[in-house]
Structure 1
Amino acid sequence: MSRHSLRLRLGLAAAALIALALLLAGIGLTVILDRVLDTRTADGLDRTAKLIAGRVSLAPDGSPTLSREPPDPRFATPYGGLYWQVEAGSHVLRSRSLWDKSLKLGSLDLSRADAAGTVDTTGPDGGRLIAVVQPLTIGPSGGETELRVIVAEDRRNLAASRTTFLRLLVPALVALFVVLTLAMALFVRRALAPFRVLQADLLAVHAGTRTRLPEHFPDEVRPLVADLNRLLDAQERALIRARDAAADMAHGLKTPLAVLDALARRTEPADPTLSAEIAEQARAMGGQVERALARARIAASGDLRRRSCRVAPVAERLVATMRRLPEGGSLDWVVSVPETLAYPGEEGELMEVLGNLLDNARKWAHRRVRITGAAEPGRQTLALDDDGPGMSTAAIAGIGRGQRWDETRPGTGFGIAIARDVAEAAGAQLVFGRSELGGLRAELTWPGG
């Protein structure tokens, strides 16, 4: 797929946006998880703090005591990750998990409403803790003692839960990215389907099987289709005008050329040399006009609507015509062309190409003219061989320059040059060489098959 492909660009852009969206979603889910873990942990610690607060009492010396410790075994394991501490002035009662350390929360004003809450602190082993502080007042009226109950949990426990969550989240997001990217690729392919249909319809117009583009396209593509159809109509009108102009020019030049030919014959008794020169120049002018008109027809027909035609029927008709011309009836004409062989142009163009080549073969062949065709994968070939004297390399090169090379035979001598012009305009290649019959081989090739 080309880097200029719209499908590739849309696919890459969609994949990048999907990846960005999933990355942001992953970050957002992680933040939400952290908040949920903090909230749930704080709720659990708050319940434990209230449980401990309900079991606190004061000894005669004012130190806090606990009738029964919480049942969680982590409170009894040194540095177990879960800690409680009860403070009553300078007296501190703490869980065995703190060992010989204390929770340092700094100075909190217990008279304030925000004294109870969630704070972060440092644990006995240096780890970060999330702690809940619960203020408590006990004792008879007028002799109350203010205490605070602190319950804390190591954040490494929360980090482990977060890591487990990420281990599940990352593969899930990767799988979701793959699924969404494939879905987007199918969506892009589906969205660009009208352009593939349009390309197929344009190929049909090129091949000549369709004259206009259908209008059963989505609203977004229909204006483009309408513009292309207007372009096809305009080119059709230009083609008709060019053909009419070429016909008018040909008709208008017939009379002057006929007058020059008549003057040449009239002056022949008095000055044969001048008469021959005038006749020669008139024939040269006729050939040049014929070639110019052929080029005009080719240019006019070189629009989007290329036609195609089968070669075999055209070859049979032209050979039948050649047999009725002088020197044609005595020749052995062999036609071996597959019925599937199709020329990439209109039937009139093929008749002009093949007609000129066959007429040249008729003039120069001794006994035999052969027409063969072949349709190979990606390439189609039409070859014409005769057993005449053939052409020299210099003569073949002169065809491309529009030179008249067959001075000894009737005609203008521009037929082969016209055939090459028409063939090249249709996308075919006409090459000449030595035939295995001994004469000239004209091979016409074009893509297809």
Structure 2
Amino acid sequence: MKRDSLRLRLGLAAAALIAIALALAGIGLTVILDRVLDARTADGLDRVAKLIAGQVAIGRDGALTLPQEPPDPRFSTPYGGLYWQIEGGGHALRSRSLWDRGLGTVPDIAVEPAVGDLDGPDGGRLIAVTRRVTIPGNGGRTALAVTVAEDRRDLAQSRATFLRLLVPSLVALFAALTLAMALFVRRALAPFRILRADLAAVHSGARPRLPEKFPEEVRPLVADLNRLLDAQERDLERARRQAADMAHGLKTPLAVLDALARRTDMSDPTLSQDIAEQARAMARQVERTLARARAASGGLRRRACSATPVAERIVGALKRLPDGEALRWEIALPETLAFPGDEDDLTEILGNLLDNARKWAHRRIRVSGGPEGEGGRLTVEDDGPGMSAAAIAGIARGRRWDETRPGTGFGIAIARDLAEAAGAGLRLDRSELGGLRVTLHWPAGSDAIAG
């Protein structure tokens, strides 16, 4: 997936937001757990304080006594983590777990019982509950403060257990939500994938326009693309007509120039040759301009055609020429090979290439092709003299190869223009047959299934 992918951006943004939300949820749950633990612990300590307050008695000397201590063994274990203390009338009574230390009381607040933190006998922090009661004794009433406390380290263990369960749960929830969001983003972007496939169908020539069965949010874009396709088709058709009109308008002046060249041949051969040469140069430029106009087959509306029937038809026509009957023509093309252009484009390209091969071949011409990577190729070879590297470079600049034979080399330049207009390329090198090999090749993005 590319870095500028909308799907990747939405997925990363969703994953980041989910992570932040789950982190805040984890913090919130931890705070809630701490408060719930404190509330439950304070409630349990208050029950113990009520039990102690209900059993405490005052002796004749004013000393405090507790006939029966709470049953939890931590009250009897020194620094056991659970403590109680009774203070009042100048006397104090403590649990064995406090050993020789005092517990203190939670500051008096309006809420009864008072809940707060105290320092423990071993330096730890305690959550404590102090309940203030008044009991009768020795002919009067004595105010007592009953404090029960528990070491917070016991609560910390419960908190750690909760976190050990919470963190993996949040991680699993993050994975599940991220996967669900990825599926949601994929589903949400499905219309754009369908639009891309429909555009590829338009590009390959499988359909003329985009269908309008898209969600409401995408439909305006589809309508604009269809209007663009229609406008482009009209502009291209108008450009073809204008090119044809220009060529038709130039044919008559060129014919007149050619006639004048023949008439002046006897009186001034040099002038006649110059005029004829200029007329031929102009005719070649007109031919090349027309070829380019015909190759402008529609930008987005790319057409495709099967290469084998076109090659067989052109070879059949060239065989009937006087110098074509003596040649051995070989065609080795798969039926599924499709050229990414319309039939007129391929006819113009192959016609130029095969006609050039016919002019220079001694005995043999071969047409072959097939898949090349994920694209395709189509090769024309002959057993003629071939071309030098300098001649190939000249062809690349649109120059003729040889002036002694009409049209030599210039047809290859036209074929190159047509191939490039169709998204293909033309490669020239030496053939195994000894002559020139011209390879027409196109990448996967330009390949299409012939309809």
TM-score, normalization by structure 2: 0.93
Specify which of 324, 347, 350 is matched with residue 343 of structure 2.
347
Given the alignment of the two structures, is residue 213 of structure 1 paired with residue 191 of structure 2, yes or no?
A: no
Q: Which secondary structure state, in structure 2, belongs to the residue aligned with residue 85 of structure 1?
A: strand
Structure 1 counterpart of 2:383, one-letter code = D
Given the alignment of the two structures, is residue 390 of structure 1 paired with residue 400 of structure 2, yes or no?
A: no
Q: Does the 8 A contact of 1:283 with 1:412 survive in 2?
A: no
Given the alignment of the two structures, is residue 324 of structure 1 paired with residue 323 of structure 2, yes or no?
A: no
Q: Does the 8 A contact of 1:287 with 1:413 survive in 2?
A: no
Structure 2 counterpart of 1:349, one-letter code = D
Between 436-445 and 249-258, the greater mean CA deviation after superposition: 436-445
Q: Does the 8 A contact of 1:284 with 1:412 survive in 2?
A: no
Superposition map of 1:118-129 within 5 A: 118-129=115-126
In structure 1, what is the equivalent of residue 154 of structure 2? 157
Superposition map of 1:238-277 within 5 A: 238-277=235-274
Given the alignment of the two structures, is residue 135 of structure 1 paired with residue 128 of structure 2, yes or no?
A: no
Change (3 A) 1:102 1:324: same
In structure 2, what is the equivalent of residue 58 of structure 1? 58
For the residues of structure 2 that align with 1:181 and 1:421, how far apart are their CA atoms?
51
Q: Which secondary structure state, in structure 1, belongs to the residue aligned with residue 140 of structure 2?
A: coil
Change (3 A) 1:433 1:66: closer
Between 368-377 and 130-139, the greater mean CA deviation after superposition: 368-377
Given the alignment of the two structures, is residue 146 of structure 1 paired with residue 146 of structure 2, yes or no?
A: no
Deviation at 1:96, TM superposition (A): 1.1
Deviation at 1:447, TM superposition (A): 2.1
For the residues of structure 2 that align with 1:129 and 1:369, how far apart are their CA atoms?
101
Q: Does the 8 A contact of 1:302 with 1:425 survive in 2?
A: no
Given the alignment of the two structures, is residue 89 of structure 1 paired with residue 86 of structure 2, yes or no?
A: no
Given the alignment of the two structures, is residue 3 of structure 1 paired with residue 31 of structure 2, yes or no?
A: no
Structure 1 counterpart of 2:393, one-letter code = A
For the residues of structure 1 that align with 2:401 and 2:124, how far apart are their CA atoms?
103
Q: Which secondary structure state, in structure 2, belongs to the residue aligned with residue 144 of structure 1?
A: strand
Change (3 A) 1:121 1:320: same
Structure 1 counterpart of 2:193, one-letter code = R
Deviation at 1:422, TM superposition (A): 0.8
Structure 2 counterpart of 1:66, one-letter code = L
Q: Which secondary structure state, in structure 1, belongs to the residue aligned with residue 126 of structure 2?
A: strand
Given the alignment of the two structures, is residue 431 of structure 1 paired with residue 427 of structure 2, yes or no?
A: yes
Between 189-198 and 98-107, the greater mean CA deviation after superposition: 98-107
Change (3 A) 1:134 1:435: closer
Structure 2 counterpart of 1:183, one-letter code = A
Structure 2 counterpart of 1:118, one-letter code = V
Q: Which secondary structure state, in structure 1, belongs to the residue aligned with residue 335 of structure 2?
A: coil
Root-mean-square deviation over aligned CA pairs: 2.0
Given the alignment of the two structures, is residue 192 of structure 1 paired with residue 189 of structure 2, yes or no?
A: yes
For the residues of structure 2 that align with 1:178 and 1:390, how far apart are their CA atoms?
65
In structure 2, what is the equivalent of residue 12 of structure 1? 12
Q: Which secondary structure state, in structure 2, belongs to the residue aligned with residue 22 of structure 1?
A: helix
Deviations 1:129-161 (A, max 9, x none): 111111111227983211111111111111111
Between 304-313 and 181-190, the greater mean CA deviation after superposition: 181-190
For the residues of structure 1 that align with 2:153 and 2:75, how far apart are their CA atoms?
16
Between 31-40 and 370-379, the greater mean CA deviation after superposition: 370-379
In structure 2, what is the equivalent of residue 407 of structure 1? 403
Given the alignment of the two structures, is residue 374 of structure 1 paired with residue 352 of structure 2, yes or no?
A: no
Between 360-369 and 68-77, the greater mean CA deviation after superposition: 360-369
Deviation at 1:43, TM superposition (A): 0.9
Given the alignment of the two structures, is residue 228 of structure 1 paired with residue 228 of structure 2, yes or no?
A: no
Between 334-343 and 437-446, the greater mean CA deviation after superposition: 437-446
Given the alignment of the two structures, is residue 101 of structure 1 paired with residue 101 of structure 2, yes or no?
A: yes
For the residues of structure 2 that align with 1:371 and 1:196, how far apart are their CA atoms?
38
Deviation at 1:283, TM superposition (A): 0.8
Deviations 1:355-405 (A, max 9, x none): 111121222223332212222442422111223333232222211222233
TM-score, normalization by structure 1: 0.94
Deviation at 1:413, TM superposition (A): 5.5
Q: Which secondary structure state, in structure 2, belongs to the residue aligned with residue 301 of structure 1?
A: coil
For the residues of structure 2 that align with 1:107 and 1:406, how far apart are their CA atoms?
112
Q: Which secondary structure state, in structure 2, belongs to the residue aligned with residue 79 of structure 1?
A: coil
In structure 1, what is the equivalent of residue 415 of structure 2? 419
Q: Does the 8 A contact of 2:356 with 2:408 survive in 1?
A: no
Q: Does the 8 A contact of 2:132 with 2:144 survive in 1?
A: yes
**Identity percentage of aligned residues:** 72
For the residues of structure 1 that align with 2:11 and 2:430, how far apart are their CA atoms?
55
Structure 2 counterpart of 1:266, one-letter code = R
Gapped regions of structure 1 (runs ≥ 5) = none
Deviations 1:157-187 (A, max 9, x none): 1111111111111111111111111222222
Between 220-229 and 138-147, the greater mean CA deviation after superposition: 138-147
For the residues of structure 1 that align with 2:430 and 2:103, how far apart are their CA atoms?
107
Q: Does the 8 A contact of 1:287 with 1:412 survive in 2?
A: no
Change (3 A) 1:119 1:399: same
Deviation at 1:106, TM superposition (A): 7.0
Deviations 1:62-96 (A, max 9, x none): 12212222111111111111111111132001111
Q: Does the 8 A contact of 2:106 with 2:117 survive in 1?
A: no
For the residues of structure 1 that align with 2:328 and 2:67, how far apart are their CA atoms?
128
Deviations 1:39-80 (A, max 9, x none): 111111111111111111111111221222211111111111
Deviations 1:426-448 (A, max 9, x none): 22221222233333222212224
